[in-house]
Amino acid sequence: MTDAEAKDHKTAGTAPTAAKAQKAAATNGKPVIEPVKLRRRVIWAMIWGFVAANAFMIMRFFFPRTLFEPKSIFTVGTPPDFGLGVDTRFQQAYRIWVVRKPERLFVIYARCTHLGCTPDWKESENKFKCPCHGSGYDSDGINFEGPAPRPMDRAHVELNAQGQIVVDVNRLYTCERGKPCHFDDEGAYLVV
């Protein structure tokens, strides 16, 4: 007897008919069981379906539709707000530095490429210094000392219709040694 049939018995007893009764008589009283297979399969399918659906619901339950975390896309004012050099205004709020070079403006994502600490901007030495393992970056965020493997990543920047700078720290531009450098990609900087 197959597994399926065994299951069938759990859900429903036998469904006798006159014919069955005779047959039973014929085969020395032993009942021949002919369950309504399709119906039972359907039922089980539905039950397991329901359970599966519930599993899915519970999974989904753990991913709320909104969060109250700081935004990863935000505006930081207009280009004229930034003088030449490194601007640390938004380090606290968004963990970025806005760097204004003579001809372009870009945003460095303040995360050391070594182990992800947040470096500090040392105005006097004109460099970023990582407190964790002493990686040093120049004002462009290019590493020149310490264990950092590559320059600090840069965040995506663009101007919106109101002319404000929109930063997106979800889209980072890297410049790894030996790999093509993305710092000059469209969106990695703004021309000012």
120 alpha carbon, distance to own chain's centre: 28
CA distance 55 to 60: 9
Q: How many residues does the chain have?
A: 192
Show the tokens assigned to 177: 């040694």
Shortest CB 124 distance to other proteins, Å? 16
**67 in helix, strand or coil?**
coil
C-beta closer to other proteins: residue 97 or 151: 151
Amino acid at 42: V
Of residues 25 through 44, those in contact with other proteins by CB under 8 A are: 29-31, 33, 36, 39-40, 42-43
CB neighbours of 50 closer than 8 A, spacing ≥ 6? none
Which residue among 26, 27, 32, 49 contacts other proteins (CB under 8 A)?
A: 49
| H or E element that contains 97 | strand 96-100
Q: Is 47 near other proteins (CB under 8 A)?
A: yes
Which residue among 117, 132, 142, 190 contacts other proteins (CB under 8 A)?
A: 142
Of residues 164 through 183, those in contact with other proteins by CB under 8 A are: 177
Please identify, among the stretches 113-121, 137-145, 182-190, the one whose residues bind other proteins according to the rule CB under 8 A: 137-145
A 10 A CB-CB count for 114 gives: 18
Residues near other proteins, by CB under 8 A? 1-3, 5-7, 9-16, 20-21, 24, 29-31, 33, 36, 39-40, 42-43, 46-47, 49-50, 53, 57-58, 60-66, 68, 70, 101-103, 138, 142-146, 158-162, 177
